[in-house]
Amino acid sequence: MFLRDLGETEVGGFGIASVKDLLYLEDIQLVRQVCTAASVSFDDAAVADFFDRQVDRGLPLAAFGRIWVHTHPGDSPQPSLTDEETFARVFGQTDWAVMFILARGGQTYVRLEFHVGPGGGLLVPVEVDYTRPFPAADQAAWCEEYLASVQEEPWPLLMSGPSHLEPAVADFDRYGQPVDWDSWDEFLVEVADRGHASSLHHHHHEEDEGGLFDDDRF
């Protein structure tokens, strides 16, 4: 929750689980990433370095490469369409994986999916286990990790309405969108997608351009 509240964007990382209980998180680690209020894009080299470090520690892949954790800056933890597409594309070939979302108000969404046999998925309850020892809080170190890993990407200034919160009809027409003010949040995401589609770190670029995680200590 500490890292979640340091900025106004989403933040993503990998959950590191106990080898004896793969659904028991002992740590969450960030990697270099570019973030907006609606997406997180991990740097490929940083992900590879993270995996190498965990293997050097002697951890199996299942303990550090199966639980994808990210935050939502709003109060809703429900996965977005981009979240679902990323989860399916990146983790769809694994035997199992977890999508963990923590919203601003503390609400959580955790889904465990199996991709072997008939497959399937289920929602998993979340609780904090105070019976096991854990390292003391180190907010200074957490701040350093956040500053070293998270780069915030501002929204593109494409609106021609009277303010950045009031788009003009032309803005919708420019991107082929219907004029539906109830869809403003979705329109912002679409504008960001189109405006940054050529970036290697954006969450809608092509597979061959790189980008393992192109979506999206919490």
Domains of the chain plus CATH, in order, are 4-154 (3.40.140), 155-207 (no CATH)
Higher pLDDT: 203 or 129? It is 129
Is pLDDT above 50 for 17? yes
In this prediction, residue 1 has a pLDDT band, given cuts at 50, 70 and 90, of low
In this prediction, residue 196 has a pLDDT band, given cuts at 50, 70 and 90, of very low
DSSP state of 163: B
In this prediction, residue 194 has a pLDDT band, given cuts at 50, 70 and 90, of low
Quote the CA–CA distance of 80 and 67 in Å, as a whole number: 17
Quote the CA–CA distance of 91 and 198 in Å, as a whole number: 24
- In this structure, what token pair is assigned to residue 160? 């021609």
pLDDT-above-70 percentage for the chain: 67
Q: How many residues does the chain have?
A: 218
* β 96-103/67-72 pair status: parallel
**60-87, pLDDT tens digit by residue?**
999 999 999 999 998 899 999 989 988 9
Mean pLDDT estimate for the chain: 76
**30-63, pLDDT tens digit by residue?**
999 998 888 888 899 999 999 999 999 999 999 9
Sheet holding 21-30, edge to edge: 21-30, 12-18, 67-72, 96-103, 108-114, 120-123
**Looking at the whole model, is its pTM more than 0.75?**
no
Contacts of residue 22, defined as CB under 8 A and 6 or more positions apart, other chains included, come to: 62, 63, 66
What pLDDT, on a 0 to 100 scale, did the predictor assign at position 176?
A: 46
* CB-based burial label for 208 (10 Å; 0-12, 13-18, 19+): exposed
What pLDDT, on a 0 to 100 scale, did the predictor assign at position 112?
A: 97
How large is the average pLDDT for residues 178-196? 50
| Residue 120 β-bridge partners | 114
Contact 161, 150 (CB under 8 A): no
- Residue 101, Cβ neighbours under 10 Å: how many? 24
Cα distances from 26 to residues 16, 18, 177, in angstroms, run 6, 6, 44
